[in-house]
Amino acid sequence: MRSDTPASRPVLLVTRRLPDAVEARAARDFDARLNPQDRALSGADIAALAREAGAEGVLCTAGDRLDAAAIAALPDAVRIVATFSVGTDHIDLNAAKARGLIVTNTPDVLTDATADIALLLMLGAARRASEGERMIRAGAWTGWTPTQLLGTHLGGKRLGIVGMGRIGQAVARRARAFGMTIHYSNRRRLPSEQEAGAVYHADPEEMLAVCDVLSLHFPATPDTTRWLKAERIERLPPGAIVVNTARGSVVDDEALIAALASGRLAAAGLDVFENEPNLHPGYRGLENAFLLPHLGSATVETRNAMGFRALDNLDAVFAGAAAPDRVV
Ligand code: DGY
């Protein structure tokens, strides 16, 4: 960890390497302790570095696990943990709340990038893109044939979206352009202008039967752990496609792998996994699993915007104002 700025500014521990423009602003406005080697830190490492640096704020990321023990180990001087992510499942929010720690996230700015990746996953899974890529890279492509790697159209298919928040709605807008019919399930029904013709299902169980493609867009919480389990997969139409850009923990890997291996599901497009980066090894051998390494928000524009949003929250707290994206 490196100190770049005078100590008069609040000491900010930044847990991972961030885009240059974000690090430059952090170093300008804070006594920023950066991580130029981009070393992965455990919760205990973060607490120890925060103590060593005399940190008053921590800018962490989705891969940094701040469980109750790590939160308890943070020095008292730390007032805010600003996570460079919309998801907060890596932080024990109850523990943070109990000790009066402010936690903020970065909503909105990654909606479009994540929705784009959901469509990429749908297309990649439906059109067997990674099989084709592997064939070329292996030197196994012997030329065009009428029956080679036949996939399925998205157009004319029914897309079921579970969780119709910002990202779910952005996915729906894109999927409509591909000619898909949109169904959704959400805690509350959207106003009709936002629904834009999508069919609402109060009960997600009842929606599953009409999902040629199922896309998951709800947060990981204790209630949603392994939400997509064998019984729910059984309700999907045979040959359905499953897409996940939410969190790996909302899927029962064993059940999904079994359904892909048996052909009960045609394919899956997955950007997130339980226990990243050590995903269930069963996925690697499945031709019909289109796999990406958590790229949902991975554009320069989005990652800059996420960093600036996290810094906006830190600025607000150290200026004595309310953090715009306070979670607890
Ligand atoms: C988030 O922000 O929660 C994403 O998963 C990281 O891209």
Q: What is the 3-state secondary structure (H, E, C) of 43-55?
A: HHHHHHHHHHHCC
Which residues lie across from 159 on neighbouring strands? 182, 213
Which tokens sit at 202?
Answer: 């109060």
Contact partners, residue 126, CB within 8 Å, separation at least 6: 151, 152, 153, 154, 213, 241, 266, 267
Contact partners, residue 252, CB within 8 Å, separation at least 6: 226, 228, 229, 230
Best of 66, 114, 166 for a ligand 1 pocket test (most atoms within 8 Å of beta carbon)? 114
Query: Taking the CA atoms of the chain, what radius of gyration do you get in angstroms?
Result: 21
Best of 65, 86, 270 for a ligand 1 pocket test (most atoms within 8 Å of beta carbon)? 86
**pTM of the full structure:** 0.95
Phi, psi of 162 (to 5 degrees): -100, 115
Rounded distance, CA 259 to CA 267, Å? 9
86-108: b (≥16 Cβ within 10 Å) or e: bbbbbbbbebbeeeebbbbbbbe
Question: Which tens digit of pLDDT belongs to each residue from 240-280?
Answer: 999 999 999 999 999 999 999 999 999 999 999 999 999 99
Other CB atoms within 10 A of residue 179 CB = 11
Nearest to 196 by CA among 184, 213, 212: 184
Question: DSSP letters of 147-164?
Answer: TTT----STTPEEEEE--
Question: Which tens digit of pLDDT belongs to each residue from 215-228?
Answer: 999 999 999 999 99
The residue written with tokens 């499942």 in the block is: 89
Supply the residue whose CA is at minimum distance from atom 2 of ligand 1.
Answer: 85
Asked if 90 contacts 220 with a C-beta cutoff of 8 angstroms, the reply is no
The residue written with tokens 């928040």 in the block is: 165
Q: What pLDDT does residue 68 have?
A: 98
Question: DSSP letters of 47-100?
Answer: HHHHHHHT-SEEEEETT--B-HHHHHHS-TT--EEEEESS--TTB-HHHHHHTT
Ligand 1 center–CA 302 separation, angstroms = 11
Q: What pLDDT does residue 1 have?
A: 53
Q: What pLDDT does residue 8 have?
A: 83
List of the chain residues with pLDDT < 70: 1-7
Angle between helices 166-177 and 111-126 (to 10 degrees): 50
Rounded distance, CA 111 to CA 31, Å? 31
Phi, psi of 145 (to 5 degrees): -135, 155
Rounded distance, CA 16 to CA 280, Å? 25
The reply to whether ligand 1 has any atom less than 6 angstroms from the CB of 86 is yes
Ligand 1 center–CA 145 separation, angstroms = 40
Q: What pLDDT does residue 5 have?
A: 47
